[in-house]
Amino acid sequence: MDWSPVFCSVHIRTYAFGERLIPEMLAKTGVPAEGRVSETWEISDQKDARATITRGPYAGRLLNDLVREHPDGLVGRGYTGPHFPILDKFLDASHMLPVHLHADDETAARLHGEPNGKTEAWHILWCAPGTTILTGIKPGMSDAELRAAFKDEDYRRVMFEWPLQPGDTVYVPGCILHSFGPDTLIFEVQQTSDLGQNVMPVDIWGNRLDEATWDENITKTLAELKQHYVPKPNPGLARAADGSGNRLVIGAASKHFAIERWTLADTHVEPSHPERCVTLSNVGAAVTLRWSGGECVLERAESCILPAAIGEVEIIPGAEGGDLIVCYVPQLERDIVEPLRAAGHTDAAIAALGEVFQ
């Protein structure tokens, strides 16, 4: 099969926390001209929001069809999962997100009968000065103290608060309580899942809950809550310079995914790696993708998959340079630890990227 970049339809979410940052700041096209655009699911094989392929010989078919029919060629050699392993999105938190958590793999299987949970990472594209995030639970908090804080809507009483800067990345494992916003625009990579529990008195659409439903949601959240990890913003670690002027920064990593920010001054040659695919999301000027079978343009605020079997791909920026978010499922020692050690980073700094050494 002759492989080329896979472009997908985008699913739009109009949750209460968003406004118009995605079309206004990213110049994202193909979204409604008015109203909330809270999330655009750029690459999604989630069961309720499966993407359709929009170009090439598979145009009109589901991304999931390609995953099932050609798992080695698309996702990577030996892949056997039921769906594409990661979900990429742009997310507008013009208003505060719900204080919530997502199941981890064990909880997803035990409580929800799902194949995996939803560990995620946020890369901060823009935030207003003074923006903070809430993550994790302070030590020693009992369920009764947590419930009281949630009912008082005093989340800072029990959660850590961290200052946020553009360029930071925050790794958030499943079952860890979190929230961010207002005035924040992020790129999120996550496991392919939409499981979640919310402790706030409104749902994700902004509708007020009755007291019994709110109490039940808090009980469900406490049943899934874990406190083994406290997410913190991290500026990321740069790979060793190669003389091209390109800067490749790893923002977060675990067995579930890695996320990088690539700032390109010159052509980047992405080598062949048949063991894994790569997703590209463009947050800058248009770039050209060139492979053995052809070339195409990746426009601003557009995303695609570079299939595992595509071979070597050149990513060619224009005069304005290139600015890309790059995600993949890593082999941690080979793809993360070894190159960062070679660039002079300590194991402590590498460990701070996520669950790297587990």
Q: What is the pLDDT of residue 358?
A: 78
Q: What is the pLDDT of residue 80?
A: 96
The mean pLDDT value for 122-141 works out to: 97
pTM: 0.97
Q: What is the pLDDT of residue 203?
A: 96
Give the distance, in angstroms, between the CA of residue 48 and the centroid of all CA atoms in the same chain.
Answer: 18
pLDDT band at 166 (very low <50, low <70, confident <90, very high): very high
- Domains 11-224 and 237-351 in one fold: yes
Residue 41 has a CB neighbour count (10 Å cut-off) of 24
Q: In 3D, which of 179, 218, 172 has the Cα closest to residue 198?
A: 218
The mean pLDDT value for 28-46 works out to: 97
Question: 237-351: CATH homologous superfamily?
Answer: Jelly Rolls (2.60.120.10)
Q: What is the pLDDT of residue 41?
A: 98
pLDDT for residue 240 is more than 90: yes
Hunting for tokens 């659409």 — which residue is that?
205
The mean pLDDT value for 77-101 works out to: 98
The mean pLDDT value for 147-154 works out to: 98
Query: What tokens were used for 311?
Result: 């071979």
Q: What is the pLDDT of residue 255?
A: 98
Q: What is the pLDDT of residue 264?
A: 98
The mean pLDDT value for 184-208 works out to: 97
Q: What is the residue type of 198?
A: N
* Domain residue ranges of the chain, discontinuous segments joined by +: 11-224, 237-351
The mean pLDDT value for 41-54 works out to: 98
Is 241 or 10 the better-scoring residue by pLDDT? 10
pLDDT band at 149 (very low <50, low <70, confident <90, very high): very high
Question: d(Cα 181, Cα 212) in Å, to the nearest integer?
Answer: 27
The mean pLDDT value for 319-331 works out to: 98
Q: What is the pLDDT of residue 6?
A: 98
The mean pLDDT value for 70-81 works out to: 98
Q: What is the pLDDT of residue 329?
A: 98
Give the distance, in angstroms, between the CA of residue 238 and the centroid of all CA atoms in the same chain.
Answer: 19
Q: What is the pLDDT of residue 345?
A: 98
**DSSP secondary structure letter of residue 160:** E
Angle between helices 143-152 and 211-224 (to 10 degrees): 140
The mean pLDDT value for 137-142 works out to: 97
Q: What does the mean pLDDT of the chain come to?
A: 97
pLDDT band at 251 (very low <50, low <70, confident <90, very high): very high
Question: d(Cα 229, Cα 222) in Å, to the nearest integer?
Answer: 16
Q: What is the pLDDT of residue 323?
A: 98
Question: d(Cα 310, Cα 314) in Å, to the nearest integer?
Answer: 11
CATH among 3.40.367.20, 3.40.50.2300, 2.60.120.10, 3.10.450.50 for 11-224:
2.60.120.10
Q: What is the pLDDT of residue 1?
A: 79
